[in-house]
Amino acid sequence: MKELYKAVDEEIRKEAREEAKEILRLTTDWHRKDFLEYHKKDQGNICCLVLDRAKMYLVMEDKMTQNNEDHFGHPLFEDDDTIKNKT
């Protein structure tokens, strides 16, 4: 996790880091691997998309909640009802 947290500190703006770290703690190895892979390729925007997608899954699994003020997990192409209703 130390490598992940270092990557978060480099890729994610300060006010969003704690949420990013929580997502990475709770998500799958697959999402953590993707995050590190894109970090190593210097693709910070893709790192954020990985966090968005991981958070969406965590919300659907009731492992996290989604709030309007959150930095991650807001769907880009789906309306909010899709996530809230878990369909």
Structure-block tokens of residue 29: 């190895």
Q: What percent of the chain has pLDDT over 90?
A: 79
Q: CA 67 to CA 55: how far, in whole Å?
A: 11
**Per-residue pLDDT averaged across 48-56, rounded?**
94
Type and span of the H or E element at 4 = helix 2-11
Tens of pLDDT along 25-45?
999 999 999 999 999 999 999
In this predicted structure, the answer to whether residue 87 has a pLDDT above a threshold of 50 is: no
pTM of the shown model? 0.83
Distance (Å, whole) CA 1 – CA 4: 5
